Amino acid sequence: MQKLVFSLALILSASAVKLDAGTIYAATLSGANEVAAVITPATGSATLTLSGNSLQVTESFSGLIGGTAGAAHIHCCTAPGTNVGVAIPFTGFPSATSGTYSNTFDLTLTATYLAAFLTNSGGTAAGAEAALIAGLNAGTAYVNIHDTTFPGGEIRGLLVTVPETSSVMLLGLGLLAMAMRRQLQRSVSK
């Protein structure tokens, strides 16, 4: 019994250590996700990490058939399956049919946002930041990549929140505790 209590205490103390990686959002990009759908073999993925007032964007894509990427960005805020204007343009996005992109955006700067999104969010960076974060958390933001043949976007992906590691660890800890309790009950009843 002492070993069981010690093991549980050790697991609890290890799970108390939290690495603040911020909130993570992810998307899988495809032509089928565009509105209206695009028939293309192109694919992509995006990961956004929100940490304080910084938004780190990492995106990879391959197989664009509509020409080289002309633009890529975050759109916000609308119900899934509908279109809305650009919130944050991805400056310096590679003009290629396949590639990767990485950039960190300072959400406190008005220059981070497209003017229309800034205006629609109260005209301030603080308002735009609040609207963007609310949209990301609500699942009403998406990323897409545009090219010459598909000016509305060749591939697109809805951004969804990725469960944080500590929540997953807490779930695992709960399951482990239940299993250990069951094992203890079996040992006592024998």
What are the DSSP calls for 82-150, one per residue?
Answer: S---EEEE-TT---SSSEEEEEEEETT-GGGS-HHHHHHTTSSHHHHHHHHHHHHHHT-EEEEEEESS-
Torsion angle of alpha carbons 97, 44, 93, 148, nearest 10°?
50
Instruction: Identify the residue with better confidence: 103 or 2.
Output: 103
User: In this predicted model, what pLDDT tens digit does every residue of 72-98 receive, in sequence order?
Assistant: 999 999 999 999 999 999 999 999 999
114 lies in a domain?
A: yes
Q: Is residue 13 one of the residues assigned to a domain?
A: no
pTM, two decimal places = 0.77
- 29-43, 157-171, 176-190 — which is least confidently predicted? 176-190
Q: Is 10 within the bounds of a domain? A: no
User: What does the pLDDT look like over 53-73, one tens digit per residue?
Assistant: 999 999 999 999 999 999 999
**What is the structure's pLDDT at 68?**
97
Residue 170 inside a domain? The answer is no
Tell me, yes or no, whether 46 lies in a domain.
yes
1 lies in some domain:
no
What would the mean pLDDT of 168-180 be, rounded to a whole number? 55
Return the number of other C-beta atoms located less than 10 Å from residue 122's C-beta. Answer: 12
pLDDT, tens only, 106-146: 999 999 999 999 999 999 999 999 999 999 999 999 999 99
**Domain of residue 76, CATH code:** 2.60.40
> According to the model, what pLDDT value does residue 28 have?
98
Q: What is the mean predicted confidence (pLDDT) over 149-172?
A: 80
- Tens digits of residue pLDDT in 6-53: 344 444 444 444 445 589 999 999 999 999 999 999 999 999 999 999
What range does the domain containing 59 cover?
31-161
Q: How many domains does the chain have?
A: 1
Contact status, residue 38 vs residue 150, Cβ threshold 8 Å: yes
Asked whether residue 185 is domain-assigned, the answer is no
Does residue 123 fall inside a structural domain? yes
CA distances, 41 to each of 34, 88, 134 (Å): 13, 26, 32
Nearest alpha carbon to residue 57 among 94, 80, 26: 26
Give the 3-state secondary structure of residue 153: coil
